[in-house]
Chains A and B, each alone.
Chain A
Amino acid sequence: MTFTQHLILCLSMAVAFVAAGLTLAHMYRAERAMQRTGGPGLLPFERAESAREVDRYLRAWGPVGRAAVRRSLRWNHGFLAASVVLFVTAALHVAGQADAAGYRLLAAAEVVAAGAAVLAGGAGVAENIMLRRTLTAHDELSGRKTTEPIRYATTTAAGSARITRIRRAAAWKFNLTGGVAAVVLTGFGIVELSGRPTPAGPMLSLFAGVAVAAATFVTLVLRRRA
C-alpha cells in the first residue's frame, strides 16, 4: 500500500469515528431520556425475549420515553452507517497490509470481515424498522385502551414472531459486529509486526479522529446535562 492509500483509509476511518461519536452522543441523550421515565434503555428492547417483556418496556417509557426511543432509532441509522464505513475501511486497510506482507489468508479473512460488517449494518437497519413498527402498534393499542382497558390485559403490541425476528436481527448485528471488530483488531496487530507497520502520519490522523470523536461525544453529553 502506498502512503496515500494509507492516508485515505485512515482519514476515512477518522471521519467515520467522528460521525459515530456524534450519533452515539445523540443516542446516549435519547437513552437518558428513556431511563428518566423509569424504563430501560434501547438494548433490552432490542434483545427482548417475549412480547410481554416488550410491553413492559413500552408501558414504562410512556409517550415521552417512546418518543425518545424513536429519536434513538433515527440516530441509530446514522450510527450504523458510520460503523459500517469504519469497519469496512479498517478491514480493507488491514487486508491491504496483510496482502503486502504476504499473509494471503489474513487478507482474505479481512475481506470477509468487511462483507460481514455490511451484513451487520443490514441486520441493524432491519431491526430498527421492526422496532419502529412495534412502537406504532403499541401506540395504536394505547389509543384504544381508555374504553376497553382490560381487554388488553394479555394482548401485546408485538407478536411473538416479530419479537423473535427482532431478537435474531439484534443477535446477528451484535455478533457480526463483535466478530468483525475482533478480526480487524487482531489482523491489525499481526500486520503491525510484519515489518511493515502503518506509517506514523496516517496513524496520527486516525488518532486525531478518535480524539475529535471522543471530544464531540463528551461535549454533547455534557451540554445536555448542563
Chain B
Amino acid sequence: MQPRPYCDLIMKGGITSGVAYPGAVLKLQEKYDFAAIGGASAGAIAAGMTAAAQYAPDGAGFTRLDDLRTELQQPGLLLRLFRATKETRPLLALLTAATGPARRRPAAVARVIGRLWLPLLIWLSAGFALTAMLLGHAGATWESMSWVSAVVLGVLLTGFAVVSFAVVVALRLGRAVTAYLPSSFYGMCLGVTENDADGSGPALTEWLHEWTQRVAGRPGHRPLTFDDLAAGGVELQLITTDVSLGRPVRFSRTDPVGRGYHFDVDEFRSLFPPPILEHLVRTGEPRPGDDGRLLYPLPAGELPIVVAIRMSLSFPVLLAAIPLWTFEADGRPVRHWISDGGITSNFPIHYFDSWVPARPTFGLNLVPAQERHSDPADDVTMYPDAPPAPRVVPITSLPGFLRQIVATMQNWRDTLQAELTGFHDRIAHIGLDPGEGGLNIAMDTDTIDRISRKGECAGEALRDRFDWDRHQTQRYEVFMGLLQDGLSPGTEAADRRLRTVRDSWESGLNKRFAALAADGSPWHAAAAEATDRLLDEADEWLGTLDGVAERRSFRPPTPLMPPAGMRITPDV
C-alpha cells in the first residue's frame, strides 16, 4: 500500500467565518495527512483542531472533528460562546443587532430601551418638573391650560424624552467603552463563564479546551501541548500580535524564542479554565512582580495549544486581549497586551515555506463573494495558472475610505504573498456573502451550514485540482531564477553580484576572521576556509557560463508576475 502524501495547511482569520474550515479539512484529509498546520485568529482555532485530529493516537480524530462540524451548526451556539461580561452586554447586543439580520434590529433596540426605563423616567420627570415650574411661575395652572397648551407640553416632553434617551444611551455606551472595556482586558467577551448559574454552558475558551481534548482523544486534565503534537509528528504554528511591542509573535513548539514572557496567575484565572491554569503553574517557578503579583514563565513546548489559539484569537474589542509580562533589565515587570494574530498577519501563507518544498502547503483564504451564487461550489475559486486579478474596492464615503485603509495596512503583505508564483496555485478562496461569517455571531443554522458547505467545496478543490508536479516545477524555477538574480542578474562577468561579496570578504573580513581564528576560535577558522572555497567554486562555475545567455538562465520562461525577490526578512 502506498503511503498517504503529506501536506501543510494555513487558514486565514475571519472570526465566525471559521465555521468553513472543518468541512475543508475533512475533505483534504481524505487524501492527505497533515504535517504542519498554521493559522491566525479563527484560522488558529481550525489549525489547532486539525492538529489535534491528526495527533489523535486512536486514529479517530477526524471522526470527532466531523462531530465538531455538526456541533457548530447548533442554533445559537456562537452567541453562547461569545458571551459578554455583564457590563459590556449592551455593546455586544448593539454589535449583534448591527451586524445581524435587519429584522432583528427593532427587537434589539426595544431590549436596550427596556433596560433604560428607569433613567429615562427620571429624565422625563425632571423635564416635566422644570417645564411646570417655569409655566407655574408664569401664572399657568391646570385649570387655565387649554388643549393646545397641553399638546405643546406633550410635544415638549416627548422631545425631552428623545434627547434624554440619546444622552442616556451615549453615557452608558461611553462608560462601557471607556471604563468597563479596559477592566475586562479590552474585550467584551472574556471567553470563560463568569456566572455558572446562567446555565448557558461553556464559553469560548472553555469550549475550545473541551473540544481540543475531545478531538485529540485526551482527558480534560492533561491539556494537549505543542510537545505532545511534536511527539505525534505534527507541527503547529500560530500567529498573534504583541501590541505593546508593535509586532507579530509566533507560537510554536520552540517559539516565541527569547521573549521571556510570563503570565500573572490571577489574570489568567479570568481567561482560562482551571485545567489549563493548573498545567501552566506546574511548568515553572513563579517570580514575584509588583503589587504582590505572581508571574510564572510561559512555556513554549509545554504550552497548551488552547492558550496559543486563544492568544491568536483575540479579535480587538470583541474578545479580551491576553496580558503577558516580561522583566526589564532592572527586574521591573512590564505588561504586554497580546491581541489578535490577524492584526499583523491574518493569512500567514509564508509559514512552512522553503526554497523548494517537499510537500504542498495549502492555504484557505476567506474573501468577499463577488456575486451571490445559489450553489456554494460557485463561491470557491482557485487560480492554478495566474494570480487572481487585483480587486478594486469601490470607495464612496469616509467610513469606507477609513475601512479600506485599515484593510490595506492589515492585509497588503499577505495579499501580495498569496499572489506570487508558487503560492497562488495552492490557495482556495472561499467567497462569503454579506451576513456570512465575520462579526455575524447571530448567524442562523442555514447560514452556518452554507458556509460549512463552501468549506467542503474548498477542500475538494484543493484535493482534486491541485497539481503537485507542476507546483514543484514552478517552485524550482522560481527559486533558481531568484538565486540567479542574487548571484548574477546579467550574462557578463561584470554583472556578478557575487563580486561584491568577494570584495567585502577580501577587503578586511577575511583578515578579521583570520585574527579571530588565531585567537582560538575554530568556528571562524572553518568559516573562513568554507568562504574561500565557496567563492572560488561559484566564480569558476559562473565563469564557465559567461556570455552564454541561454546556458546561464534558470529563470522561468516568462518573468515572474507579480515580481518577487529574495532577501533577508524576519522569521515570524
Report A's interface with B, CB cutoff 8 A. 35, 38-41, 44, 47-50, 52-53, 55-57, 59-60, 62-64, 142, 145-146, 149-150, 153-154, 160, 174-175, 178-179, 181-186, 188-190, 192-195, 197-198, 200, 203
Name A49's contact: one of B86, B136, B190, B294 (CB within 8 Å).
Answer: B86
Chain B facing A: main interface SS: helix
Q: Residue on B with the closest CB to A190?
A: B132
Contact B269 A153 (CB under 8 A): yes
Contact B129 A186 (CB under 8 A): yes
Interface residues in B, total, Cβ within 8 A: 48
Contact B135 A185 (CB under 8 A): no
Q: Is B278 part of the contact surface with A, judged by Cβ < 8 Å?
A: yes
The interface stretch among B40-48, B103-111, B191-199, B475-483 is B191-199
Name B128's contact: one of A49, A189, A197 (CB within 8 Å).
Answer: A189
Q: Is B137 part of the contact surface with A, judged by Cβ < 8 Å?
A: yes
* CB-CB under 8 A for A53 and B85, given A38-B183, A150-B281, A192-B133: yes
* CB-CB under 8 A for A193 and B270, given A50-B195, A185-B128, A188-B133: no
Contact B270 A56 (CB under 8 A): yes
- How far is A150 from B272 in the complex, measured between Cα atoms in Å? 13
Q: Which residues of A contact B129 (CB under 8 A)?
A: 185-186, 188-189, 192
Contact B125 A185 (CB under 8 A): yes
Q: Which residues of A contact B197 (CB under 8 A)?
A: 49-50, 160
Q: Is B267 part of the contact surface with A, judged by Cβ < 8 Å?
A: yes
Contact B137 A200 (CB under 8 A): yes
Rounded to whole Å, the gap between the CB of B265 and the closest CB of chain A is: 5
- How far is A146 from B265 in the complex, measured between Cα atoms in Å? 11
The interface stretch among B66-74, B114-122, B247-255, B509-517 is B114-122
Q: Is B87 part of the contact surface with A, judged by Cβ < 8 Å?
A: yes
Q: Which residues of A contact B286 (CB under 8 A)?
A: 149
Q: Residue on A with the closest CB to B128?
A: A189
Q: Which residues of A contact B281 (CB under 8 A)?
A: 149-150
Within 8 A of A (CB), among B191-209: 193-198
Q: Which residues of B contact A183 (CB under 8 A)?
A: 125
Provide a sorted-by-A list of 17 A–B residue pairs whose CB atoms are within 8 angstroms.
Answer: A35-B182, A40-B179, A40-B180, A49-B195, A49-B198, A56-B183, A59-B270, A60-B183, A149-B281, A153-B274, A153-B278, A178-B119, A178-B121, A190-B142, A193-B135, A197-B137, A200-B137
Rounded to whole Å, the gap between the CB of B279 and the closest CB of chain A is: 10
Q: Is B98 part of the contact surface with A, judged by Cβ < 8 Å?
A: no
Contact A52 B265 (CB under 8 A): no
* CB-CB under 8 A for A146 and B274, given A50-B194, A182-B122, A189-B133: no
* CB-CB under 8 A for A150 and B265, given A35-B182, A53-B195: yes
Name B126's contact: one of A53, A142, A150, A185 (CB within 8 Å).
Answer: A185
* 4 closest A-B pairs by CB: A189-B132, A192-B136, A185-B125, A197-B136
Q: Which residues of A contact B141 (CB under 8 A)?
A: 193-195
Q: Which residues of B contact A40 (CB under 8 A)?
A: 87, 179-180, 183
Rounded to whole Å, the gap between the CB of B456 and the closest CB of chain A is: 39
Contact A63 B291 (CB under 8 A): yes
* CB-CB under 8 A for A59 and B87, given A40-B180, A188-B129: no
Q: Which residues of A contact B198 (CB under 8 A)?
A: 49
- How far is A44 from B143 in the complex, measured between Cα atoms in Å? 47
Contact B133 A49 (CB under 8 A): no
Contact B292 A53 (CB under 8 A): no
Q: Which residues of A contact B564 (CB under 8 A)?
A: none
Name A189's contact: one of B131, B190, B270 (CB within 8 Å).
Answer: B131
New contact pairs (10) apart from A48-B86, A185-B128, A198-B133, CB-CB < 8 Å: A40-B179, A49-B86, A49-B197, A56-B184, A56-B190, A149-B265, A153-B278, A178-B122, A185-B129, A189-B129
